[in-house]
Amino acid sequence: MNKNCLVIGAGMAGLTAARTLQQNGWQTTVLDKGRGLGGRLATRRIEAGKADHGAQYFTVRTPEFEKLVATMQQVGVVKPWDLRTSQHPLFVGVEGMNAVAKFLANGLDVRTNERVVSIAQNDTDCTATTETGNRFTASHVIITAPAPQVISLLKDSGIALPEQQVNDLQSIVYAPCLAVMVVLNQPSQIPVPGSLKFDNGPVAWVADNQQKGISPQLPTLTIHASPAFSRAHLESNLDQTGAQLIEALREWIPADTVVSYQVHRWRYSLAERTQPDPFLVAQTPFSLLIGGDGFGMGNVEGAFLSGWNMAQHLLQYP
Ligand SMILES: Cc1cc2nc3c(=O)[nH]c(=O)nc-3n(C[C@H](O)[C@H](O)[C@H](O)COP(=O)(O)OP(=O)(O)OC[C@H]3O[C@@H](n4cnc5c(N)ncnc54)[C@H](O)[C@@H]3O)c2cc1C
């Protein structure tokens, strides 16, 4: 069996799978439709500052992940963030959450701006064709896109899974999230250590990226709308929705402190309902594994475990 694998998605799950396979002598190519890598490990430059607008932090609960996080901490990629809201240790990227993805991608063959539009089986291999017309061939394929995107890709490729596997993919549900990144002209009034969580109302979370340490020169905030608000306003005018969310936090964000803001629409943010197993072995004539954060814990650590377990599965091949 040839030891090469195409990995679709350069987020936590895909990069972990590719890195683990490559460390064990496999040849891997990672394809991502995004301009940059990292998926929902996302950090944006905004004016002279920065803001994490996807995942805000990650938990460490399992020994496999603990090992990776210890390595990343040693080389200065991540640091603890003591929010005192979790019984598990929480970590953030020292330069932003996207730095975690960049660390994992080091030494990997990652092709960005490559949206896979179809997968087809050849004699012994399979080929992924991207929107740019490029074709990539390997013996094994791993897909780590959110489940609804996997379902579309398989349909567009004419690949029919057994009913049970289709049901399993369809049962995975993600909350959307509207994320607002705000630039302030003075340090924010968010209390130390730099975040607030809300159980009711339009806002679910606000974080101060300056206190978090990723935007030392310029105070910036990240606001995440609640799932209910995000669902109701997903297609609304983004500027107006951003203003509404900032207004909802007026107590902490005085009007005359806002310099500018940007809004990002996440159609898939945190998984609300996941599959318990870390990945799915697709019943296809070629070797196809489907994983990502829709399998397991439904967060950064869950995505890591999914990627790691998919790699372990393939490493069993002689
Ligand atoms: C707003 C928000 C807040 C969050 N907060 C937290 C948090 O605080 N803590 C936490 O642990 N988790 C949080 N999460 C969830 C966390 O970010 C995810 O669980 C994790 O990053 C998912 O990793 P993944 O690799 O499974 O998926 P992704 O990061 O989504 O990676 C999948 C990749 O596949 C690519 N892709 C999709 N389709 C194709 C295609 N056809 N061709 C090529 N590429 C394709 C995408 O571009 C993407 O880069 C949050 C997410 C969001 C959006």
Q: CA–CA separation, 126 vs 121, rounded Å?
A: 4
pLDDT tens digit sequence for 291-304: 999 999 999 999 99
Half-sphere exposure of 290 (CA within 13 A, CB side): 25
Query: Is the pLDDT at 148 greater than 70, yes or no?
Result: yes
Q: How many CB atoms lie within 10 A of CB 44?
A: 19
The pLDDT value given to residue 317: 82
Q: Where are the beta strands (DSSP E) in 41-109?
A: 43-46, 49-52, 58-59, 78-80, 90-93
- Whether ligand 1 lies within 6 angstroms of the CB of 179 is answered as yes
Q: What is the pLDDT, as a whole number, of residue 314?
A: 97
> What 3-state class would DSSP assign to 256?
helix
Tokens of 204: 């679910």
What are 104-113's pLDDT values in tens digits?
999 999 999 9
Residue 171, phi then psi, degrees to nearest 5: -80, -10
Task: Read off the pLDDT of residues 263-292 as tens digits, 9 standing for 90 and up.
Answer: 999 999 999 999 999 999 999 989 999 999
Q: What is the pLDDT of residue 1?
A: 61
Spacing, Cα 25 to ligand 1 middle (Å): 26
Label residue 15 by pLDDT band (50, 70, 90): very high
Domain 174-266 annotated CATH 3.90.660.10: yes
Q: Which two tokens stand for residue 290?
A: 């489907």
- Say if residues 223 and 245 touch (Cβ distance below 8 Å): yes
Q: Which amino acid is at 291?
A: G
Indicate the top mutation candidate among 61, 224, 299, 304 to test ligand 1's pocket, ranked by most ligand atoms within 8 A of CB.
Answer: 299
Q: Report the pLDDT averaged over residues 244-268.
A: 96
- For residue 145, pLDDT over 70 is answered with yes
Q: Given 3.40.430.10, 3.20.20.80, 3.50.50.60, 3.40.190.10, which CATH number is that of 4-35+112-173+273-315?
A: 3.50.50.60
Regarding pTM above 0.75, the answer is: yes
Q: Residue 44 Cα, ligand 1 centroid: separation in angstroms?
A: 15
In sequence order, what are the beta bridge partners of 29? 6
For the chain, the structural domain boundaries read 4-35+112-173+273-315, 174-266
Using most ligand atoms within 8 A of CB, pick from 16, 40, 152, 308 the residue to mutate for ligand 1: 40
Residue 123 has a CB neighbour count (10 Å cut-off) of 4
175-194 pLDDT, tens digit per residue, is: 999 999 999 999 999 999 99
